[in-house]
Each structure stands twice: as C-alpha cells, then as structure tokens.
Structure 1
Amino acid sequence: MVSEFFIQEQQLSNVTRTLVKDEDGKSTFLLVGRWGTRGDALSLYAMNGELVASIRQTSFAFGSRFELYKGFEKVGVLRKILNLNADFYYIQHLHWTVLGDIKNHHYSIYQVNHNKIMEMSKATLFSGDYFSLVVTNDEDAPLCICVAAVLDYWLYNKKKHQNHKPIIGWGTC
C-alpha cells in the first residue's frame, strides 16, 4: 500500500524529537536521537512506544557509514560513495540505491531491480514547509524515514562546512 508521510522541514536534521505525520496529519512516528560522533544513533518509535527502526553512525571520517536496524535486527549499511559528478548512496544488504537531487530534497530510493521504494520531495502545507515521503510499501516506511534523516544530516553538514571560511594568517591576541 502506498503511503505518504510528512516531516517538518526544519526538524529533520535537528537534534530533537521529530514527529512524522501521515497524510491525515496524524502523528505516526517519533524520531529521537543525535548525530555527530561515532556511535550516535537516531531511533524511530511508533506512537505506542515500540522501536520500529534505528540508524547508528559506525564511522565518522571519509566514507561515513550508518547501520540500519529494523527493530533490533541489523538489515543494512548505508554508505556515501563519492563520485566525480555527484554523491551516490548505496544500502548494502537491502540492495537499495538513492538517486536524484539530494541538495533540493527531491530524490528516490530504488531497489537494484529498479522498483521504487520511496520518493522524497518538498511540500508546503498550511502549517509550514515539509518533506513529503511517498513510500510504496508501508513496511519500508521506518527504514526510509531513517535514510531520509541521514541524507538531510549529510546535506546540512556539507552546507555548514561550505559556509565556514578558514582564518588565514597569523594573529596576535
């Protein structure tokens, strides 16, 4: 069954509690956790308190890796594979690839056999700007939400580092 989920735009990469809502505006998931150092994790809970998915940062340096869990079972490893023209993302074990315009939050997740798993885009609603995640199979929704959070984190940090201007020269205090 195809479902659509909404995450408020300014909330996805924040170190905060983030509500994920369905197309009726009903809260369906709660995303909690933090990023930045090895071992940090985001956990996704159903509104009844059940842990449905999580993603854990396992390496922080070049070629960051994140392990994906469905419940408590490891189901995949998300890797950012650098390319000359663009970033390429691959999720081992699930055989998912992420393609599209990551910078503008318009991308899709595909299985290697070209079946679409999820499509991400931006949406403006009366209550603000949101990310819209259209997921083909409801069972994949928790993992897709975790992947979207990581991609937004990478994009946010990439922009933050591009805006940082190094201080050149010697100064005195």
Structure 2
Amino acid sequence: MVLLYMKQEYVSKQEKILVKNEQGKDMYLISGKWGRVGDSISLYAMDGTLLVEFKQTVLSLFPKFDIYSQNKKVGSIAKHRTLKMVYFKVTPLNWVVTGDFYNHHYFVHCENHLIMELDKAYTPFGDYYKLSVPEAQHAPVCLCIALIVDNLTLTRLPKPSPKKVNRALQSF
C-alpha cells in the first residue's frame, strides 16, 4: 500500500505540485495546465524522468483526456453523468471513478478491485489530498486522475450572494 499526499491549495491553483509519501519525502513533481484543448499535465519522478502525461483532447461538459506513458497512449479518462450521479471512466483499463467528489472522498475501481482511494487529510501544515494506492505501479496515473477529478467536479462551491432587501417592505 502506497500513501501519497498532495497539498490541496496547490491543486486548486494549478501550480507545480510536490507529492510526498507518508514520511514527508518528495516522491513526484506534477506540472502543467488544464482547461483547454491541447493542455497537459505531466508527472515526473524526482530525478526528472517523465512518467505519465495527460493531454486534454475534448473541451465540453464531458471533457476527455488521453493518458500517455513513455510517449505511448495507454488510455483515456472522460467524465460521464447519469440521472443520479457523475462518474469518470478510464478506458481501456476499465477503471471507474465514483464517490463523493464534493467532499473529496472517492474511489477508483476495476470491477471489484480497488485501484485508489482519495480522502481529504487535515494537518497543522494545511489541507492535503491523501491517496491510498494498493499497487505502487498505479500511483502515477492515480495522481493525475485525482487532479482531473478535482478540477472537473464542482469542488469549490460558489459563495452565496447577499440577499436583496425589498425597499417597500423596509418601511414596515
């Protein structure tokens, strides 16, 4: 089981993100932008080796990213919606991302096999996303999936607008 941590503040701002293990050691560096067709997210090992890259290919209500490993396309992730829920599919890996996206608690499964679990972790040093990945080889792809899911689900709810007071009712 691999436990990895990403600082939520950096994920939200689309800044370079250092991913740490449970001992606080830097494990990965993520950089890039997303939100436009052609944008990409790149995940590097700490020695500078490019491990995984996600490139945005469709910009819509249901965006799509292609997944590359060693310059070879290995799959795609796309957002889907049913009448009751939003979910993500990673094809052809047959991974499905489901859960409570708004409260940052979701899972990646392949049939009944757990690929990743993401939870929010509160520490004295700030809020982090905690990724639990049972198989270490899935960690690079799972980290990028977490960034995309965070960005494509409405995790930052709009602030309520101030209520307008009807002037006619104020005189009573």
Which TM-score bucket, shorter chain as reference?
Answer: 0.7 to 0.9
Say what the alpha-carbon RMSD is for the aligned residues.
1.7
2:120 corresponds to which residue?
122
Looking at structure 2, the residues matched to 148 and 101 of structure 1 have their Cα atoms a distance apart, in angstroms, of: 13
Is 1:41 matched with 2:28?
no
What letter corresponds to residue 23 of structure 1 in structure 2? E
What letter corresponds to residue 60 of structure 2 in structure 1? A
Distance apart, 1:105 and its partner CA: 0.8
Looking at structure 1, the residues matched to 12 and 69 of structure 2 have their Cα atoms a distance apart, in angstroms, of: 20
Distance apart, 1:153 and its partner CA: 0.8
Partner-residue secondary structure (3-state), 1:63? coil
1:51 corresponds to which residue?
50
2:85 corresponds to which residue?
86
- Please list every run of 5 or more consecutive structure 2 residues that lacks an aligned counterpart in the other structure: 162-172
2:166 corresponds to which residue?
none
- Report 1:63-102 matches (<5 A): 63-102=62-101
Partner-residue secondary structure (3-state), 2:41? strand
4+ residue runs over 2 A deviation: 162-165
Looking at structure 1, the residues matched to 117 and 25 of structure 2 have their Cα atoms a distance apart, in angstroms, of: 20
Distance 1:152 1:53, change over 3 A: same
Residue correspondences, number = 161
Larger radius of gyration: 2
1:144 corresponds to which residue?
142
Looking at structure 2, the residues matched to 3 and 40 of structure 1 have their Cα atoms a distance apart, in angstroms, of: 28
When normalised by structure 1's length, the TM-score is 0.87
Identity %: 34
1:60 corresponds to which residue?
59
- Please list every run of 5 or more consecutive structure 1 residues that lacks an aligned counterpart in the other structure: 166-173
Residue of structure 1 aligned with 2:129, choices 114, 128, 131? 131
2:16 corresponds to which residue?
17
Looking at structure 2, the residues matched to 14 and 71 of structure 1 have their Cα atoms a distance apart, in angstroms, of: 27
Looking at structure 1, the residues matched to 30 and 9 of structure 2 have their Cα atoms a distance apart, in angstroms, of: 14
What letter corresponds to residue 40 of structure 1 in structure 2? D
